[in-house]
């Protein structure tokens, strides 16, 4: 029984480990999870033009039928939009999908707030900005990145960096 209690405490401790912005993916980022048929991993940067980082996060929408597939980082604790004049989260995105591809970012648990941005380039890094408006969420949340919502996957690949 003692072993079960200790194991349970370790699992809870691991699964609720806090994450803090910014994310540059140069080292392991705990709490990264692919969902609904997507993978979410740290890989070598596909292009250092426009982003000198050695590493980036990679989301692949693996299954063709999963419209909501993406990646998330659980328990991000450093949301502090409240006292800033803007509530903008930015991230670098690289994809070879067509210009005009929608990238949705959601903050969820305990609340849900979502914002879309649209790519303006293909095959190059660009910085997308997600304006959560006023009042902006604060505190802790899961940061969900949903590339091409409402679109089937089938191998569509997106690289994310410098959130």
Does residue 111 carry a pLDDT above 90? no
pLDDT of residue 124: 97
The stretch 103-121 carries a mean pLDDT of 90
pTM for the whole structure = 0.82
pLDDT, tens digit, for every residue of 3-53?
A: 333 323 323 333 345 566 678 999 887 789 999 989 999 999 999 999 999
Cα(133)–Cα(163) distance, integer angstroms: 18
For residue 2, what pLDDT is reported? 39
What pLDDT digit, counting tens, does each position of 116-137 carry? 999 999 999 999 999 887 666 6
Tell me, what's the pLDDT at 6?
30
Asked if omega into 135 is within 30° of 0 (cis), the reply is yes
Task: Tell me the per-residue pLDDT of 54-92, one tens digit each, with 9 for 90 and over.
Answer: 999 999 998 767 888 999 999 887 666 555 566 788 999
């Amino acid at each position: 029984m003692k072993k079960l209690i200790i194991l349970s405490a370790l699992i809870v401790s691991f699964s609720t480990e806090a994450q803090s912005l910014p994310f540059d993916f140069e080292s392991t980022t705990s709490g990264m999870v692919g969902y609904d048929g997507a993978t979410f991993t740290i890989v070598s940067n596909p292009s250092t033009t426009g982003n000198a980082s050695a590493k980036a996060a990679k989301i692949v929408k693996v299954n063709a039928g999963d419209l909501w597939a993406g990646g998330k980082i659980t328990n991000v604790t450093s949301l502090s939009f409240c006292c800033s004049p803007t509530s903008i989260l930015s991230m670098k995105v690289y994809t070879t999908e067509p210009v005009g591809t929608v990238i949705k970012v959601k903050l969820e648990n305990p609340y849900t707030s979502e914002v879309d941005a649209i790519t303006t380039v293909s095959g190059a890094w660009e910085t997308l900005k997600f304006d959560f408006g006023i009042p902006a969420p604060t505190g802790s949340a899961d940061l969900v990145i949903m590339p091409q919502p409402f679109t089937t996957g089938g191998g569509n690949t997106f690289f994310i960096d410098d959130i």
